[in-house]
Structure 1
Amino acid sequence: MTAPAPTPAPSPLPPDDHAPLRRGIAARRRSPALRAEGERTFFRSLGMIGGLGWMIVLPTLGGLALGRWLDARLGGGLVATGALLMVGLALGCRLAWLRIHQP
């Protein structure tokens, strides 16, 4: 007597679920804008990440420095430092957000 053949394991997703994604990727690769610009290299992506980091860090540090200076002049503890630190952080995040979504 022979053992029955093992049945293949079922796929977690039906193969048809991947078809729209594949078509979208293929259309994007064929787009004239991507061909003219070319795909972004690893180092260009790394440079963009670094630039976004500086866009967030510089306004944050500027708010921190201005807040410390105001607190030293006015003697208000750390009230202006904390407030301007948050304002600088919010401004930096907004600038980075606008840069990412720039056409």
Structure 2
Amino acid sequence: MTDPDLINPIRQAQQAQERAATEKRRGLGATLTLIGTLGWLIVLPPVAGLFVGRWLDRANDGRFWTLSLLFTGVFLGCWAAWRRIDEGHHDD
């Protein structure tokens, strides 16, 4: 009553999941999610620093805040990405 054409792919998928669990590998979805999260973590703080810095520079008539907050945003974004990678490493 069972069709081997249907059961073989199911068994192969189950074996792949068991192998991934024993090897503690991330799946494709988890990897893509991590890449997307890292992208946002790295991009958003510098952009926010740039906009806030431009706003402060226009209010104070200078260039100090734009560069300072841009570099602060780069640092914070890279630090947050590093922490996320390290946190994901410990989850495995």
Relative to the length of structure 2, the TM-score reads: 0.67
Partner deviation per Cα, 1:1-46 (whole Å, 9 max, x = no partner)? xxxxxxxxxxxxxxxxxxxxxxxxxxxxx8xxx43x9532223211
CA distance in structure 2 between the aligned counterparts of 1:97 and 1:38, rounded to whole angstroms: 20
- The aligned residue for residue 13 of structure 1 is none
- The aligned residue for residue 46 of structure 2 is 60
Percent identity for Structure 1 against Structure 2: 46
CA distance in structure 2 between the aligned counterparts of 1:101 and 1:39, rounded to whole angstroms: 15
Relative to the length of structure 1, the TM-score reads: 0.60
- The aligned residue for residue 83 of structure 1 is 68
Paired residues, number: 69
Per-residue deviation, 1:66: 0.8
Partner deviation per Cα, 1:24-78 (whole Å, 9 max, x = no partner)? xxxxxx8xxx43x9532223211211110101111111110110010000001x2
| Superposition RMSD in Å | 1.9
CA distance in structure 2 between the aligned counterparts of 1:70 and 1:99, rounded to whole angstroms: 30
Gaps of 5+ in 1: 1-29
Which has the higher relative contact order, 1 or 2, with Cα contacts under 8 A spaced 6 or more apart? 2
Deviation above 3 Å: which 4+ runs of structure 1? none
CA distance in structure 2 between the aligned counterparts of 1:60 and 1:50, rounded to whole angstroms: 16
CA distance in structure 1 between the aligned counterparts of 2:46 and 2:73, rounded to whole angstroms: 4
Gaps of 5+ in 2: 1-18
1:40 is aligned to 2:23:
no
CA distance in structure 2 between the aligned counterparts of 1:51 and 1:73, rounded to whole angstroms: 33
Q: Which stretch of the first structure deviates more once superposed, 38-47 or 64-73? A: 38-47
